[in-house]
């Protein structure tokens, strides 16, 4: 036992860093504190009709410890050890802190910082940085390694090589949260000597790159009712720093300044991204108009992914009526690609949505959600073949009705939810292979006694899906329906809590009828203030009518947990 605990403690690894410091540190530092918990479990598992999916007698230990240091820094550790598999890593695999004192924040270690959506936008780096906000002044700077070098080898040919990438970003702005203007610059470059020569192939091309991004982001409040949002950036991205240099013309100050930071080459591409919005928010109504354009191949080394080659327009109004009892909001937008007119086809999308909520009184309410998504293609460099033209429409509607009865110690809730989805193919040549629709109904009831701990819940569900008809098929309708019941009860002054759940679903698919039965029972007893015992039992019987899906499973578990 002693060796097991020692192995458990040695296996702790850092799961995620945490930090917090919002007040000035006092002259007297608080001591180091430890908190966490340890859990032990053992159980049984049996199955028939399928290959077993667990150990016959699973057991193990799991634990977590959080070290709280003076200054508000918290360092969590966790570990798992058992016969179902153990995983141990070295401590401090990735560690970072961002302590804050008044208007200053310092970043150190593995961090991810966002200055704007199109410049530095959450990319993880290993390094340091600082953000300063004295008064209305907004300053920020970070520097570090954005990618580490990864070399390929013959023994592991699937590894994708990468050059070490180092970069920095600076921000200068003025204003307060919700009403500011920031200028940002990011520069990052790969070290071509960080790994050995990379063999190029038709499926893998890796070359050292370089990037300079200059952006502006602002959020402005005008007349207390009108807001203006703007995010814009220009990116100079060199795909291969070994390409031939290109001389730049012009002697204006901007060209001379950025010419010291970036070297244009034959593999350099200059692109830009813009998103802007203007909105009005009144007491009972509002509206927002949005615009976005991202050039083809727009990239920034400060973010992991961008959807480029798009332009979109959208409008989103909202209104509140009947003294706040009725709320309506919606949006409509269009989006298309092929901005450079160099693709074989141009794809357009239309997106519309409506949300309505009616609450005439506290105990009754109804919500409605509608969305319509359409996509179509137009000819680009080449005409579109009719049999392959993409033209689809996806409609989705959800209605949720609720009714609540509440007394001093009893709560009852009735709920009815209906969902309808339909995919329509406007191309008659492909409609038979793509069109489908889905209907889902759920009628639920919830009952709870707050004083005794007795509770009951039940639900009737029905789902029907109409799949595309394949040549030779006559029935492609799939149905699932049945009840789900549950109950909870507390004993011994609520030290012992118990619950049980059961569901029985009948399924009809491809002309075959079957069923799935699921039963579970759970109990938890609080031995002491920081000690609990838990027992659970789960049974699954699947008989869908398909031979490969006919099986039984039984699981049981006994656990003990202690916290400190």
| Structural domain includes residue 357 | no
**Nearest partner of 549 among 520, 516, 519, judged by Cα:** 516
pLDDT of residue 17: 37
Q: Are residues 161 and 287 in the same domain?
A: yes
Q: Are residues 139 and 108 in the same domain?
A: yes
Q: Are residues 16 and 108 in the same domain?
A: no
- Pairwise CA distance, residues 336 & 378, whole Å: 10
| Structural domain includes residue 240 | yes
* pLDDT tens, position by position, 453-504: 899 999 999 999 887 765 455 557 889 999 999 999 999 888 899 999 999 9
In this prediction, residues 85-101 reach a mean pLDDT of: 64
* pLDDT tens, position by position, 293-314: 999 999 999 998 878 999 999 9
- 253, 256, 260, 261: CA torsion to nearest 10: 60
- Pairwise CA distance, residues 229 & 415, whole Å: 40
* pLDDT tens, position by position, 513-541: 899 999 999 999 999 888 999 999 999 99
- Pairwise CA distance, residues 109 & 98, whole Å: 9
Q: Are residues 277 and 133 in the same domain?
A: yes
pTM score: 0.75
With 50 as the cut, is the pLDDT of residue 10 above it?
Answer: no
The pLDDT confidence band at residue 425, using thresholds 50, 70 and 90, is confident
Q: Are residues 76 and 152 in the same domain?
A: no
- Pairwise CA distance, residues 213 & 228, whole Å: 23
- Pairwise CA distance, residues 133 & 140, whole Å: 9
Residue 41 pairs in a beta bridge with 60, 559
Q: Which one is predicted more confidently, 202 or 151?
A: 151
Residue 271 pairs in a beta bridge with 235
With 60 as the cut, is the pLDDT of residue 62 above it?
Answer: yes
Q: Are residues 81 and 183 in the same domain?
A: no
Q: Are residues 40 and 110 in the same domain?
A: no
Give yes or no for a contact between 210 and 93, defined as CB atoms under 8 angstroms apart: no
Give yes or no for a contact between 245 and 264, defined as CB atoms under 8 angstroms apart: yes
**Nearest partner of 368 among 399, 395, 396, judged by Cα:** 399
Single residue among 308, 330, 351 that ends a domain in this structure: 308
The domain tally of the chain equals 2
With 90 as the cut, is the pLDDT of residue 32 above it?
Answer: no
* Maximum pairwise Cα distance, the chain: 85
- 422, 428, 434, 439: CA torsion to nearest 10: 20
pLDDT of residue 199: 60
Residue range of the domain that includes 79: 1-48+60-91
**Nearest partner of 46 among 562, 552, 558, judged by Cα:** 552
Helix (H) or strand (E) holding 346: strand 345-361
- Pairwise CA distance, residues 522 & 528, whole Å: 19
* pLDDT tens, position by position, 192-225: 888 876 665 545 578 899 999 999 999 999 888 8
The pair of three-digit structure tokens given for residue 421, joined into one six-digit string: 């989805």
pLDDT of residue 7: 35
The pLDDT confidence band at residue 154, using thresholds 50, 70 and 90, is low
Q: Are residues 69 and 124 in the same domain?
A: no
Q: Are residues 159 and 36 in the same domain?
A: no
Q: Are residues 65 and 149 in the same domain?
A: no
pLDDT of residue 380: 62
Query: CA quadruple 240, 244, 248, 253: dihedral positive or negative?
Result: positive
Task: Tell me how far CA of residue 296 lies from CA of 216, 273, 306, 310, 337, in angstroms.
Answer: 20, 9, 10, 8, 9
pLDDT of residue 3: 38
With 70 as the cut, is the pLDDT of residue 173 above it?
Answer: yes
With 50 as the cut, is the pLDDT of residue 331 above it?
Answer: yes
Single residue among 265, 285, 308 that ends a domain in this structure: 308
* pLDDT tens, position by position, 237-274: 999 999 998 876 655 666 667 777 888 889 999 999 99
pLDDT of residue 461: 96
- Give the DSSP letter of residue 6: H
Q: Where are the alpha helices (DSSP H) in 223-370?
A: 253-259
């Amino acid at each position: 036992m002693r060796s097991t605990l020692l192995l458990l403690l040695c296996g702790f690894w850092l799961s995620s860093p945490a930090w917090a410091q919002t007040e000035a540190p006092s002259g007297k530092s608080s001591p180091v504190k430890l908190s966490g918990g340890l859990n032990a479990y053992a159980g049984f598992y049996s199955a028939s009709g399928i290959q077993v999916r667990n150990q016959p007698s699973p057991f193990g230990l799991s634990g977590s410890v959080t070290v709280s240091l003076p200054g508000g820094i918290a360092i969590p550790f966790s570990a798992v050890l058992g016969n179902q598999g153990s995983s141990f890593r070295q401590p401090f695999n990735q560690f970072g802190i961002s302590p804050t004192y008044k208007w200053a924040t310092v970043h150190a270690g593995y961090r991810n910082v966002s200055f704007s959506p199109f410049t530095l936008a959450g990319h993880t780096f290993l390094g340091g940085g600082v953000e300063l906000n004295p008064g209305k002044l907004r300053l920020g700077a970070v520097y570090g390694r954005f990618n580490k070098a990864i070399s390929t080898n013959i023994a592991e040919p699937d590894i994708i090589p990468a050059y070490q990438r180092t970069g920095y970003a600076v921000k200068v702005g003025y204003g307060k949260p919700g009403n500011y203007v920031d200028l940002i610059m990011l520069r990052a470059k790969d070290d071509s000597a960080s790994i050995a020569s990379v063999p190029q192939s038709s499926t893998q091309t890796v070359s050292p790159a370089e990037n300079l991004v200059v952006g502006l982001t602002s959020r402005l409040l005008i007349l207390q009712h009108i807001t203006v949002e703007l995010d814009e950036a220009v990116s100079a991205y060199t795909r291969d720093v070994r390409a031939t240099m290109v001389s730049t013309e012009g002697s204006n100050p901007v060209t001379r300044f950025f010419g010291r930071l970036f070297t244009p080459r034959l593999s350099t591409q200059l692109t830009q991204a813009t998103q802007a919005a203007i909105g009005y928010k009144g007491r009972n109504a509002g509206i927002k108009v949005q615009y976005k354009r991202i050039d083809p191949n727009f990239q920034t080394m400060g973010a992991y992914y961008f959807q480029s080659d798009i332009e979109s327009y959208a409008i989103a109004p909202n209104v509140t009526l009947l003294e706040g009892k009725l709320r309506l909001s919606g949006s409509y937008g269009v989006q298309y690609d092929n901005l450079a007119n160099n693709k074989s086809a141009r794809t357009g999308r239309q997106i519309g949505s409506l949300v309505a909520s009616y609450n005439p009184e506290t105990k009754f309410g109804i919500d409605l959600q509608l969305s319509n998504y359409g996509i179509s293609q137009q000819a680009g460099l080449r005409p579109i073949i009719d049999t392959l033209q993409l033209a689809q429409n996806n409609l989705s509607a959800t209605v949720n009705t609720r009714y609540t009865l509440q007394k001093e110690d009893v709560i009852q809730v009735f709920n009815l939810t209906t969902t309808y989805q339909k995919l329509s193919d406007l191309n008659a040549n492909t409609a038979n292979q793509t069109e489908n629709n889905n209907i889902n109904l759920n009628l639920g009831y919830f009952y709870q006694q707050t004083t005794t701990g007795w509770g009951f819940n039940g639900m009737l569900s029905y789902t029907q899906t109409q799949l595309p008809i394949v040549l030779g098929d006559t029935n492609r309708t799939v149905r699932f329906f049945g009840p789900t019941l549950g109950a909870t009860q507390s004993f011994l002054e609520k030290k012992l809590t118990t619950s049980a759940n059961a569901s029985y679903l009948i399924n009809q698919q491809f002309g075959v009828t079957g069923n799935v039965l699921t039963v579970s029972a759970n109990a938890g007893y609080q031995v002491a203030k920081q000690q609990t015992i838990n027992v659970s039992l789960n049974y699954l019987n699947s008989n869908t009518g398909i031979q490969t899906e006919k099986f039984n499973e039984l699981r049981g578990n006994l656990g003990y947990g202690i916290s400190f």
